[in-house]
Structure 1
Amino acid sequence: MKETPRGARSGRGRSGRLRAFGIAAVAGCLVGLVGGAFRWCLAHADALRGSVLETAAALGPAGRLIPVALTALGAAVACAIAQRVPHAAGSGIQHVEAVWRQEAEARTAWLVPAKFVGGLIAIGSGLVLGREGPIVHMGAAIGSAAGRRGGLDAEYAEKASDADDARMLHTALGGAGLAVAFSAPLGGLLFVCEEVTGTVRPRLVLLTLVGTVTAVATSRLLVGDGLVLPLAALPAPPLGTLPVFLLSGVTAGALGAAYSALVVRTLEVCDRLTRVPLVARAAVIGAGVGALMAFDPLLTGGGDQLSERLLTGGTLTVGALVLCLAVRCVAGPLSYAAATPGGLFAPLLALGALWGTLTHALAAPLLPAGSAGMGTGAAAFAVVGMAGVFTGVVRAPLTGAVLVVEMTGAEALLLPLLIACFAATVTADRLGSEPVYDTLRRRMLERA
């Protein structure tokens, strides 16, 4: 067998490495189109669900059965779709992490349509699930397929220890998916480095930057370029109030640890119900969520409407905050246990906004008079609570802080956000809580 000259191998490797950036750009555009279309469809599904709820309310007590039936049907159909495609159920982020660690193989065949259709039905019907999980997973699948079709594989790796470009594209385009889900390109990049890989590699960073920039730019053709959760401009809070934000982060970290444990525990309990078919279990969970929706729509859904209301000064009594917080703490893990496509991030952010608003109400005696105009009002605590609870569950403090800033435009709160995320991370660690996606990844591999 004739040996290929070293120079030829080197030249071919350089060509492959340069070609990877072009493939990342093209794949990023495709992720932007798919993710943007997913967000667009979800927005219209939310509007349609609102119209159905208004019609059902006008029908009196009998009309309350309509959201119960529709959500149960949506959960059952979405679960049935997910069961036909490996790894289509749940968030999918744990699968992206497993592929990076070479613990699992990338899935592309039918994964994108299953995640798209199943996620649209599950989230659109009102389950307490987030859009980011399906978009991240679809983005990773698109990146992997693009890498393979572009001829990128391990033979182009410059060093034996380097990950192959196809695997890097899988991870990088997953980050592009998160960027599209929240219109947060920097958040997508930090998500890849801090959460998925736990490392900073120049090549991976560059591929992720190319993917996120092209993906977000393309998605704006469908969803616009506005902030996901627009917030009125806030001044930087006084330095003397930073200890209060530190305490807020501590409590958010404790809540995040408890929520993470509740998600895993709910999955374990549902696993024991072996006599109940998965689709039937999903229908029962959907019916329960539908009953909550008939009572108050803010108790269900991904949570964007709830977060926006809290950030824009919508008033809720302390009792209403506690009720909504308690209900969503249960409805979120139950919705995830329905085994439909859907993520955890968006419900976590809504939970954090609730917790932050409640924290402000309880900490009001510690704040200076007229604090609402000093960057320490309820909206500021809601923003900090979003990042804190997210960090307590996911254990990615930089991602949490930057993601929330990109979603809300609250750059003035960056210092309180970083302090709260630090406190949330330390608190959750001290409580012995494992990052939720580490647990979910290990659970996925054990079940496989």
Structure 2
Amino acid sequence: MPGARSGCGKSGARAFTVTALAGCLVGLVGGGFRWCLQEADRLRGDVVDAASGLGVAGLLIPVALTATGAAVGCLVAQRAPHAAGSGIQHVEAVWRQETGAHPGWLLPAKFFGGLAAIGSGLVLGREGPIVHMGAAVGSLAGRHGRLDAEDARLLHTALGGAGLTTAFTAPLGGLMFVCEEVTGSIRPRLVLMTLVGTVTSVVCARFMVGGAPVFEVPGTPAPPVWMLPLFLVLGVTGGALGALYSALVVRMLQWCDRRPARVPLSVRAACIGAVIGALLAVDPLLAGGGDPLSESLLTGGKLTAAALAIYLAVRFVAGPLSYAAATPGGLFAPLLALGALWGALAHALVSPVLPAGAASSAAFAVVGMAVLFTGVVRAPLTGLVLVVEMTGATTLLVPLLIACFASVLTADCLGSEPIYDSLRRRMLNHP
């Protein structure tokens, strides 16, 4: 079988050399994208702070900023096939040989369109564009590196995993993503190519974004055994919430599809951006990818149960609405923020009956991140590994395993389809 080749011989040496070089490029492109987004977030915060001192008229500045960014992101995305949205569904479709790679204008469209949309405050994640750009780099490298068709397909997929690694500084998460989510299989040659690509990409990305975990979480001791049923319940409820979120993403896309034909996509995107911009004017934590909110919840930030519920409800709707703007942008980062909110809210509700020091809010937030990710994406091992690498919370492995199992089982029992299966089918039916 071609997929079972281990990588010996001249073809193997060529494939791994091309993978290493292309992985370096993924790290530089993805790291550059992350750095640009960090600068855009800082600039956006400065603009919102300055606007807040201008009274009622100043509220219009964040609205105009996000509306403009969404419109520009949408216009840029229209320049390349499949540039809108996450792009992960396109990577999966290429692996299944349901469509072509189309790498030509995809890289600049994803980079600049994603920078405009995510940087202006839409509730979207950086990982989708970086995964898609990584896969595009893999496609171009396979073509110009004179790899055979099978190795070129493996490289496209492997460097998509390298893109996820770059987005979250999570090498094992990128490997699990390729094996569990994209391909649903473990092929020795693909595993080796993915490892080479993830290692080189994360090393090169360090020159721009460093190598520290995304979230610096204080030590979280393992919760006592008698608390494990609570994490089981957290997984069940998180799985149900994930199924609802998946349905809302698809329904929001369908609802926006019914816009009058005379209304351009960019106008629709601007209207959505204006709504998110209004949220940005009210509270910056209600908009954006969600990393500052997640970091606050994971490092001891104290919010009341009512405040957590409000943030959860608003961002639960704002995420699918932002995704419907047809700009480049992913689902993972907003999902992780939602999960952290859900875990922190669960802790706030049960903490009055828990003994002092039984388990911290941060522990519930970490587990909540993996639980909601699993309920939506239906990739429990990827979610678990990704969250552990992002937070360093290795002491929570047992609660994470229990909660992720409960989440995926609940979402399956509710008949919820994995979100990227839904988005891939939609992409193929609406080219």
Match of 1:122 in 2: 117
Local SS of the residue matching 1:293: helix
Counterpart-to-counterpart distance in 1, 2:306 and 2:56: 25
Partner Cα separation in structure 2 for residue 14 and residue 170 of structure 1: 21
| Aligned residue number for residue 297 of structure 1 | 284
Structure 1 residue 430, shift from structure 2 partner: 0.4
Number of the residue aligned with 1:82: 77
2: distance between equivalents of 1:336 and 1:289?
A: 11
Larger radius of gyration: 1
Of 267, 284, 289, the residue aligned with 1:280 is 267
Higher deviation after alignment, 236-245 or 126-135: 236-245
| Aligned residue in 2 for 1:341 | 328
Percent identical residues: 72
Q: Say whether residues 1:266 and 2:261 are aligned partners.
A: no
Matched, 1:41 2:24: no
Report what 1:218 is aligned to. 204
1:235 matches 2:211: no
Paired residue secondary structure (2:327): coil
Query: What code does the residue aligned with 2:350 have?
Result: A
Q: Distance in 2 between matches of 1:125 and 1:95?
A: 25
Matched, 1:182 2:182: no
Q: CA deviation at 1:367?
A: 2.8
CA distance in 2 between partners of 1:367 and 1:209 (Å)? 43
Map 1:57-68 → 2, pairs under 5 A? 57-68=52-63
Q: Which residue of 1 aligns with 2:365?
A: 382
1:309 aligned partner? 296
Amino acid across the alignment from 2:396: L
| 2:394 aligned partner | 411
Distance in 1 (alpha carbons) for counterparts of 2:276 and 2:62? 9
Provide structure 2 residue ranges, at least 5 long, that are not aligned to the other structure: none
Q: Distance in 2 between matches of 1:406 and 1:370?
A: 25
Letter in 1 for 2:320: P
Instruction: State whether structure 2 residue 404 is matched by structure 1 residue 421.
Output: yes
Paired residues in the alignment total 425
Query: What RMSD over aligned residues (CA atoms) do the two structures have, in Å?
Result: 1.2
Q: What is the letter of the counterpart of residue 130 of structure 2? A: I
Question: Shift of residue 271 of structure 1?
Answer: 0.6
Letter in 1 for 2:171: P
1: distance between equivalents of 2:183 and 2:260?
34
After superposition, where does 1:162-201 map in structure 2 within 5 Å? Answer: 164-201=150-187
User: In the aligned structure 1, how far is the partner of 2:98 from the partner of 2:9?
Assistant: 28
| Counterpart contact for 2:220–2:360, Cα < 8 Å | no
TM-score (norm 2): 0.97
Cα distance in 2, alignment partners of residues 318 and 242 from structure 1: 22
Give the residue type in structure 2 aligned to 1:344: L
Deviations 1:178-232 (A, max 9, x none): 0000000000000000000000001100000000000001101110111101100
Structure 1 residue 274, shift from structure 2 partner:
3.3
Aligned partner of 1:50 in structure 2 is: 45
Q: Give 3-state SS (helix, strand or coil) of 1:86's partner.
A: coil
Q: Please state whether the residue corresponding to 1:216 is helix, strand or coil.
A: helix
Which contiguous aligned blocks of 4+ residues in structure 1 show a shift greater than 6 angstroms? none
Q: What is the deviation of 1:14?
A: 3.5
| CA–CA separation in structure 2 for the residues paired with 1:447 and 1:284 | 22
Q: Which amino acid aligns with 1:262?
A: L
Structure 2 letter corresponding to 1:116: F
Distance 2:346 2:59 in 1: 33
Aligned partner of 1:433 in structure 2 is 416
Match of 1:330 among 317, 324, 332: 317
Q: Is the 8 A contact 1:17 1:165 kept in 2?
A: no
Structure 2 match to 1:132: 127
Q: Find the partner of 1:356 among 318, 321, 343.
A: 343
Return the letter of the residue paired with 1:431: L
**Alpha-carbon separation, structure 2, partners of 1:112 and 1:418:** 36
In 2, Cα distance between the equivalents of 1:139 and 1:110? 13
C-alpha contact 1:241 1:367 (8 A) present in aligned 2: no
Moved more, 132-141 or 15-24: 15-24
**Alpha-carbon displacement from aligned partner over 1:72-115 (angstroms, at most 9, x marks no partner):** 01100110000111100000000000000000101211110110
Deviations 1:151-188 (A, max 9, x none): 1123xxxxxxxxx0000000000000000000000000
List runs of 5+ in structure 1 lacking aligned partners: 1-9, 155-163
Aligned to 2:90: 95
- Output the CA distance in 2 between the equivalents of 1:96 and 1:352: 25
User: Is contact 2:304-2:348 (8 Å) kept?
Assistant: no
Q: Which residue in the other structure is 1:18 paired with?
A: 13
For residues 85 and 382 of structure 2, what CA distance do their matches in structure 1 show?
Answer: 21
Give TM-score, length-normalised by structure 1. Answer: 0.94
Hey, what does 2:145 align to over in structure 1?
A: 150
